[in-house]
A and B are shown apart, each in its own frame.
Chain A
Amino acid sequence: MSVAGAVERVEFAELGPSLRGLPAAAQPSGPLADRTRHPDRPTLSVLPALAPLLPGGMLRRGSTVMVTGSTALALALLAGPSQAGAWCAVVGVPTLGARAAVELGIRPERLALVPAPGASWSAAVAALFDGVDVVAVRPPGRVSGGEARRLMARARERGTTLVPLGPWEGADLRLAGSDPQWTGIADGVGRLHARRLQVRAEGRGSAARGRQTTIWLPAEGGGVAPADELTGPNLVAVPDSGVAS
C-alpha cells in the first residue's frame, strides 16, 4: 500500500493526470505513459457544464467514471469528447434513446452501439478499447471485482475512458444524478421542456472530497447548461402558453 501512496504523491507533484487514481493491484512497474496511445493528450474535453464535476475539468483517458441515476447524464458526459472528435461506444443498453444522444450533442457518425452483447460483453468492451476513446457499458449483471479490475487495467493501458452505467467496484470517479425537477409541464398543459438535475461527484485522489453542482439536463432548447445562477422562477412548473390542449 505504501507503494501506491508514493505513486499518488509523485503524481500530484507533477507527473500529470494520466497516472492518477490507479488502484494498487494493477499498478504497472514501468512508465505508464509510454504504453498509452495518447501520451501527448492525456485528457478529453467535456461539456462546460460538467467541467466543475471532474478533476481538472477534463475527462482523463484511461480512467473509469461510473455514472448512476441518469442515462442522459452519461450521454452528456460522452458529448464533450464526441464533439472534440473522439469515438464513443455504448455497450449493453438496448433501451438507449439514440435521438436523445444526438440531441445532447453526441456526433452520430462517431457513435457505435452494441445493444445486446450477451455473455461476451466484457470481450466486446475489451475489443472496443483498441480503437474507441470512450466506452460506456451497462453490464448484464453483477461484475466481480476481478473482472472490473481487469477491464480497468486494460482501459488504462489503452488510454480509453471506461464509463460503467451502474455499480462498479474501484471506479476513479462516481457521478450520481439526483433530484430531477422538470419545467414546462403542469396539469394537462405544456410539455417537458428542461430539467434541473443535481449531480454529485465522488472519487479518489483529488476528487476525494466530492463536488456537487446543479445542471440543466436537458437545458431549454437542448444541450446541457449550468443551473446554479438560474434558480428562481424557472423552477416552478410553468405552463407553455399556446400549446395547452
Chain B
Amino acid sequence: MKSFLCELILSCVLASPGAKPLDDLTYGNALYDYYQQDTEQALLDVLVAEARGLRGADPVRFDLAKGSFAFKEGMYDYSSQVFAGVSEQELTPLDRMRLAFHLAREYYRRQDWPRLEEQLARIDLGANWLGRERRHPEVDFMAAEAAIARGDLNAAQAATARIDDHSEFLAYGLFNLGVAYRQAGDLAQAQDTFARLDSLPPVSAEVHDIVQRARLARAVVARREHRQMDAESVLGDLPAAGRYRDLALATYAGLAMDTGDNQLAARIWMTLQQQGGWSSGAAAAYLGFPMSLEKLAAPQRALYQYRAAEQAFQNRLTSLEALSERARDEHWLRRVLQALAGSAVEPQSSDALLGELGPEFRRDDWLEWLASDDVHQVLVEWQQLNGMQAWLERLPQQLDAYAELAGERQRRSAAARSLLEDQALRTRRDLAAAEVESLTSRLAELRSAPAQNSAAWMSLLADDQERALLEELQRSESYLMKHLAQREQPRWQARIARLRGVLFWQIAETRAARIQALRQQLQEGQRLLADIDARIGRVNAAEAEFVAGVATDFGSFTARAAALTDQVAAARDDRERALAVALRRGMEREAQQVERYLLTARIAIARASDQLAAAAPDAAVPDTSMASLPSTGVRP
C-alpha cells in the first residue's frame, strides 16, 4: 500500500530493518509537512537539509521533492530550474515518470498543451496485482484539458471518464467539458455532462459549489433549448441560500415571464427586491417587478415601482461615485483590503470595519468589484506579502534574542578558556607527560640491560634515598681520588666498592618488585595523563560549543531583513495600487450598468405615464404617490 502511495508524486521513505539514516528522516520530515499541506515548511525543510549536506543517497528524489514544493508555493521559475538540473542519466524509469508528471504540471500552468501531452505520454503507471490499470486523477484531468484545448471532446470525455468519482478533479473536469460542449454548440452533450456532474457525491465544499454552478448552467442551457419545465426543475433543486441564489431566482423569474406566468414572476422579483441590500439580482428585480405588474394590468403600481427603481438606481450611483472618490485614499483603501483579508477569519469584525468604511455597501459588493481571476491573484499576493511583512516585523526581536544567546555563549566560551589557564591544565599535562615518558624509557632500559653493579643501572631502580646514597658514594670516590695519598686510595676504594656492592645486592634482590612498582607508577601516570587530556578535551569542546553562533554576523541578518522588508513593502504597494485600480474599475463597471438600468427605468416611467394618461384622457394626471397606490395582492 505504501509503495503505491509513494508512486507518482514523490517517493516515500520505505521501512528499513534498523533505524533510518538521518538523511531519510529529514526527507521524511519534509514529506510530513507537505502531506499536511504546509508546503512552505516542507520547502524550508529541504532547503535546511540541503544546506546541512543532508541530501541523502538519492539526490533525484530530493530534487523532485524540492521542485514540487517550490511549484506548489508558486515559485515556478525556481521549480523549473530545479527540474532542469535533474540529471537524465540518474533517473530510474519511475523517476522519469515523476519528472514527467512535475513538468506536465508546469506546462499545464503555462497552458502549453503540446508539451503537456508530450509529458503525459511518458507516464504509464502500469497495472495493479489484479490487472487493473493504475491511473492518477490529476494526470487524466490534465489529459482532458489538453484534449479540450485541441478540440477533441471525445478524447476529453474518455479521459474524464477515467477519473474516480471521489476525486475533486472529476468535478472540475466535467464542468470544463460541459463548458466546452456548450461552446461547441452541442447542448445535448453539455446537458448530459452537467447532469453527470450533478450526480457526483459532494466530497468537498468546492465540489458542492461546482455542482451549484453546473445546475445553473443546466437551467440556462435548458432555457436556450426552450425546455422551460426542465429549467424550472433544475433551478428548483438549487438551495435557498448561497452565492447562486440570486442568480437562480432571477433566472427563475425570467423563465416565469417566458411562460407567461407573470404572477409567479412578480412574486419572485418582489422577493429579490425586498431582500435588502444590493445585488445584480436585486437590480434586475427593480425592473422586472414593475414589468410583471404591467403584464398583470396594474399600471399604477407599475409606475410607482418604476419610480422606486429610478430612485434606487440614482441612490446607488451617488453612493458609487462617493465611494470611488474615497478609494483614492491609500490608507482608507488599505483598511478596506485588511477588512476583506480578515473576513474569512473574523467575519463579524470584518463586516463592522467595512460598515464603518462604506455603510451603504456590503462585503459582497467589495468582493464583486474584485471578482476576476487576475484581481484574485493580486489579492492573494497582497495577503502573502502582508504575512511576510508581519514575519519580518517580528524578526528583529528574534534576532535580538539570538544575539543575546550568542553573547552568553561567548561569555561561557571565555570562561572555558580561563578554566584551561587558571587550573594550569596544560602545564600539568606537560609534567605528567614528561613523567610518563621518563618511566617508559626507564622500564625499556631495564628490560634491555641485565643487572650490573653500576651507578647507571642501579639509579634506574633506586628509590630517592638509595639514589642519594649512590650519589654520595660517587662524590666520596672522586674526593678520595683527588685528595688522598695514592697508597691510601685502594683501601678506601675497596670500602666504597663494598658499600656499593651492598647497595647493588639490595637493589638486585628486590629488582622484580621494584620493576613492578615502576610499572604501577607508569600506569598511574598514564591514567593521570588521560584524565588531564579528557578534561582539556571537555573544556575545548565546551569552548567550541559556546563559540557556535558567536561568529554569526547578526548585522548581516539585519541588513538582509531590512532589504527584504523594502522589497516586500514595494511589492505590497504595487499590489495595493493594482487593487485600487481594480476596485475603481469594478465600481465603474457597476455604475455603467446601473446607468443603463436607470435609463431603462426612466423610459419605462415615461411610457407608463403616457399609457395611464391615454387610458384616462379626461381625468387629471394620475397620482402615483405611494399613499394612493392600491395593493396588487402580490406577496413573496
Do A and B come together as binding partners?
no
Q: Which residues of B contact A (CB under 8 A)?
A: none
